[in-house]
Amino acid sequence: MSKRVAVLKGGMSPERDVSLVSGDAVASALRDEGYEVTEIDVGHNIWEQLHAADPDVVFNALHGEWGEDGRIQGILDLFGAPYTHSGVMASALAMDKHRSKAVLRDVGITVPKGTLADRNSVAEAHPMEPPYVVKPNAQGSSVGVYIVKDGANSPPKAVADNDAMGDLVLVEEFIPGRELTVTVMDGEAFAVTEIIPAKGWYDYEAKYADGGSSHVVPADIPKNVEDLCKTWAVLAHETLGCRGVTRSDFRFNDINQDLSDIVNKIVMLELNTQPGMTPTSLVPEQAQYLGISFGRLCRRIVEDASWPR
């Protein structure tokens, strides 16, 4: 067993706080599993930080920019130690929501219709007929997401002032329905969870605040819906070239109870190559449902580490 594990956490993205919680939880679990753990709050001197830690394995618990977009993965490839989660290409592609959905659409997965648009122009005039969603093309954790409801007279002016969105934003049709998610590891889909926000929709607060949402695992859905979500999650994982753990998010519109044509009732919203590992995170919850403790899950992720990815 590789004993020395460096856990990368924090970092420089808007999702820093979430990553710190994920990293703390992972580090604690790995110590309980018998590993010697060094926690690295990633900065611009990450190269020096890695050499100082001299790990056998690097556990990537970063989120957002510099954590799941291929850049830290490139540094880890140069460093040369086995590391967890996806490599450079898969990370960069999955992080680019617009391009990854084009790839997923080509293999038959239903994804929302959308386009990239200049952030300032989106704030001036409707880029498409409402309802639609405006969000960063390369962020996660529902940071900076605006829902423009049906009948809205104007787009959200705040988009222009939110530099964290980036110059180009993703504008997509709003997909109604129930929020479902699937974890994939080693080519296996764990389960389907339904996420029920306490209010509104599944935004940043609903994901991470106490009582922000409730999770139903396994989701109370028809078997053919469960099967398709799992099939698409595994297909997306493999098509994008992902490694380790991923989580795919879906919307299931069951307003019309005729489920004979489920392909048109299920839409894949995105795939996350660095799922959260916080106390309220979905991946550990699905693992627990299968009888896999949080410590054992972290151990499996470490044992799956390799170089290059």
Active site (catalytic) residues:
15, 141, 208, 247, 249, 270, 272, 276
| Sequence letter at residue 126 | H
By the 8 A CB rule, do 233 and 189 touch? Answer: yes
Q: Could you count the other beta carbons within 10 Å of the beta carbon of residue 186?
A: 10
CA gap 307, 81 in Å, rounded:
6
By the 8 A CB rule, do 182 and 189 touch? Answer: yes
CA gap 105, 250 in Å, rounded:
14
